[in-house]
Structures are given as structure tokens and as C-alpha cells.
Amino acid sequence: MSDFAVEANDIVRTFNDGDVQALKGVSLHVRRGEVFGLLGPNGSGKTTMVRILSTILSPTSGTATVDGFDVVKHPDKVRRRIGLAGQYATVDENLTGFENLRMIGSLNHLQKSFVLIRAKELLKEFGLTDAAHRNVKTYSGGMRRRLDLAAALVARPPILFLDEPTSGLDPQSRQDLWTIIEGLVEGGTTVLLTTQYLEEADRLCKQLVVLDKGTIIAQGTSQELKTRLGATVLSLSFHTTGDAARGIELIRDVSTKPANVEGTVVELTVEGGPASAAEALRRLDAADIALSGLTLREPSLDDVFLSLTGHKTEDELAPSDSETKSTRKARAG
Ligand SMILES: Nc1ncnc2c1ncn2[C@@H]1O[C@H](COP(=O)(O)OP(=O)(O)OP(=O)(O)O)[C@@H](O)[C@H]1O
Ligand SMILES: [Mg+2]
């Protein structure tokens, strides 16, 4: 048996007769029992990859196996081994939580008596026992996400695909879901999840790849990515753009990475954390440049992008979504 729960080799997927290139040759290897993160901004190809691995879409070219089975040649075998919680809740709003899980059980041809026990067990595990017999319509966003995850687990799949499991959730509900996912992994489940949050990938994922416009632009552990990036982002607010311009010249070399300047705000990624901040402050103070604000924060996905590509994630949304074959040809000359 392969060491890998999920293996994808050079997956390409195009839409609209090749006009849209959602994936441009993506390979990934997910080891059994780990949480693997697919990190990327809107439109980078995360959902397309998950849909290919869960046999909903076929690749234009390239191959993928799940639990050793080819997703194109043996889709039934793959489906029996995976659970999928999609980006948009798939549970039926007009049924109760319990009814939803029972329906999933019958769609999966599972024994009724097994499903009854399993549904109760999952509702309890995910804190939904009290709401079990209420219509899902009345559930909060966090409760829906938990039910969605429960639905993906009815058949006890060894491999789980979670597409942006916590997007749109408040911090507490997000934490709750992280705890649930960690519990599943402790129990031996392999998880491939997509996220736009570096913090989430950092907390959950052993290995990650960063996608940008259908291409992997970085991979490794979260720590490796952060080390490449510089551990902390120092954000300085000046009173005027003139001060910001003078300030940046004084403190530029506190970081080995290029600074990001937006109006009166200057951001630097720094390896030294507080010590680097203190050094920057000393230099500004000596030059009599006052600040209106200062923060130190963990790097976000935006910072990773800025560091890897030289621009922030939102800068590339429009071109990537609207780029057509003809504009690509035109650019290629
Ligand atoms: N069925 C489709 N037809 C045409 N284009 C598509 C289709 N599905 C996806 N795309 C395009 O493929 C690209 C990748 O989309 P995908 O949904 O995989 O991105 P994503 O990383 O999941 O984004 P998000 O974070 O917004 O969910 C986008 O440019 C999208 O518009
Ligand atoms: Mg998506």
C-alpha cells in the first residue's frame, strides 16, 4: 500500500474550452494520518483540486489516487473512502440535524440501525444533541458547519476533504471546529483542508502548499514558510506620507524583505520580533520622526503572498478571473 493517502501528479484542469486554467500542473502528496493544507486566495484553484480528488470533476490531464485508487478509473472505490465537507453547506435546511444525518446514511446504503447509533453519536460529539430535532434553518453558521462535518463522517471515512471549513465563522466557532478536526486526526483520520487563513494552516496542518492562480508557489511546513517570510510583521503608522518616506529609508534594513508602503502606513516583516521593533523605534526617535501607531502581528496569507510574489492577494483577483485565451495569447505575443 502506498505511503500516501492522497497523491496527485501534475493535475491540470481547464474550463470553457481552455479559456480558464484553474489548475496548471499541481502535484501533492498527503501522508496517512496528517492534516495537509491547501492554502490560497480566492480563485487559486483550491475547490477545483478538492472536487477532482473527490471524483466530482475529472482532471483535464494528470493523475490522482486516493487510498491507492485512481480517481478517474475507480471513482466508486474512492468515494467509499472519503468524506467531503464542501465550501458551501450541503445539508438540507428543511430537515432537522438528525434527519440530515439519517438521509446521508441511506444515500450511502448504510444499515439503518448503524446510522441511528452513528447519528446520535456524532450529534453528541459535535454539541448538537439539543438541536438534533430542530430544522437546520434555525441553526447558526457554526452549528451548520459542525453538522456538515458530521454529515461527512457518518460512514467513518478514513480520508476527509474539508473545503474552507471555517470561513465565515466567528473566532470561538472556528476554535471549536479546529478542536474537532484535531480530535479526528488523533483518531487516525487523514485530512486535506483548504483555507485562506495562514493561522488555520499553522494551527492544524503539518504540510502545506500555497496555490496562486493554479500553480504551487511554495510548499513545506508552516514553520518553514514563516521562516522564509520573517516571523513577525511590524506595522508603523506615520503622521504624514513625508514622514513615512523618510522613516522607511531609516529602518529599511531592519528587515531583509522589501517593505510594503500604503499611504502613511509602512509594514516590514522582521525576524527579530520585539527587538527589531525597538531598533526601528530608536532610529526614528533619533531622527525626531513621531509615530501615530505601532503594531506587531503574526504574518497573514497576504503577507506570505507579498513576500513570495511581490504583491498582495487582492491585486491578482481580477486578472486571474478574467484572463482569457486571447489575452494570454496577446501577452505571449
Ligand atoms: N465550473 C467552472 N467553470 C468555469 N470556471 C471555473 C469553474 N470552476 C472554477 N472555475 C474557475 O477556476 C478558477 C479556480 O476556482 P476555484 O473555485 O477552484 O478557486 P478557489 O481557490 O476555491 O477560490 P475560493 O477561495 O474563492 O473558493 C477560478 O478562476 C474560477 O473562476
Ligand atoms: Mg473554493
**Ligand 1 midpoint to CA 48 (Å):** 6
Distances (CA, A) of 298 to 38, 104, 171, 174, 322: 19, 40, 16, 18, 32
Cα(229)–Cα(39) distance, rounded to whole angstroms? 15
Which residue is closest in CA terms to ligand 1's atom 4?
15
Distances (CA, A) of 222 to 77, 132, 231, 297: 32, 37, 11, 16
> What angle (nearest 5°) sits at the alpha carbon of residue 77, between those of residues 8 and 12?
25
Is the CB of residue 299 below 6 angstroms from any atom belonging to ligand 1?
Answer: no
Helices 97-107 and 112-125, axial angle in degrees (round to 10): 140
Cα(322)–Cα(316) distance, rounded to whole angstroms? 10
Evaluate if residue 26 carries a pLDDT over 60.
Answer: yes
Residue 56 phi/psi, 5-degree rounding, is: -80, -35
Q: Residues 6 or more apart from 262 whose CB is under 8 A from it?
A: none
State the DSSP string of 176-218: HHHHHHHHHHHTT-EEEEEES-HHHHHHH-SEEEEEETTEEEE
Predicted local distance difference test score (pLDDT) of residue 273:
74
**Ligand 2 midpoint to CA 43 (Å):** 7
Predicted local distance difference test score (pLDDT) of residue 304:
73
Cα(4)–Cα(241) distance, rounded to whole angstroms? 52
Predicted local distance difference test score (pLDDT) of residue 299:
72
Is the CB of residue 215 below 6 angstroms from any atom belonging to ligand 1?
Answer: no
Evaluate if residue 277 carries a pLDDT over 60.
Answer: yes
Q: What is the mean pLDDT of residues 62-68?
A: 97
Tell me the per-residue pLDDT of 94-112, one tens digit each, with 9 for 90 and over. 999 999 999 999 988 899 9
Is the CB of residue 45 below 6 angstroms from any atom belonging to ligand 1?
Answer: yes
**Ligand 1 midpoint to CA 37 (Å):** 18
Closest to 232 measured CA to CA, from 196, 289, 291, 280: 280
Distances (CA, A) of 67 to 2, 70, 89: 8, 9, 25
Residue 42 phi/psi, 5-degree rounding, is: -55, 135
Q: Residues 6 or more apart from 304 whose CB is under 8 A from it?
A: 39, 198, 210, 218, 225, 229
Distances (CA, A) of 48 to 13, 24, 265, 321, 332: 8, 11, 36, 14, 26
Predicted local distance difference test score (pLDDT) of residue 330:
40
Q: What is the mean pLDDT of residues 295-302?
A: 77
Closest to 65 measured CA to CA, from 2, 152, 147: 2
Predicted local distance difference test score (pLDDT) of residue 286:
96
Domains within the chain, CATH numbers bracketed: 4-226 (3.40.50.300), 231-298 (3.30.70.860)
The Cα diameter of the chain in Å comes to: 76
Q: What is the mean pLDDT of residues 167-174?
A: 86
Share of the chain above pLDDT 70, in %: 90
Is the CB of residue 19 below 6 angstroms from any atom belonging to ligand 1?
Answer: no
Counting beta carbons within 10 angstroms of the beta carbon of residue 5, is it exposed (0 to 12), middle (13 to 18) or buried (19 or more)?
Answer: buried
Q: Which contacts of 179-188 are long-range, i.e. CB under 8 A and separated by 24 or more positions?
A: 180/125, 180/126, 180/146, 180/149, 181/35, 184/153, 184/160, 185/33, 185/34, 185/35, 188/33, 188/158
**Ligand 2 midpoint to CA 196 (Å):** 9
Residue type, 198: L
Evaluate if residue 230 carries a pLDDT over 70.
Answer: no
Tell me the per-residue pLDDT of 310-333, one tens digit each, with 9 for 90 and over. 666 654 443 333 333 333 334 333
Q: What is the mean pLDDT of residues 111-124?
A: 95
Grid coordinates representing 22 are 484553474
Cα(31)–Cα(33) distance, rounded to whole angstroms? 6
Is the CB of residue 14 below 6 angstroms from any atom belonging to ligand 1?
Answer: no
Cα(7)–Cα(330) distance, rounded to whole angstroms? 35
Cα(65)–Cα(2) distance, rounded to whole angstroms? 10
Is 110 within 8 Å of 83 (Cβ atoms)?
no
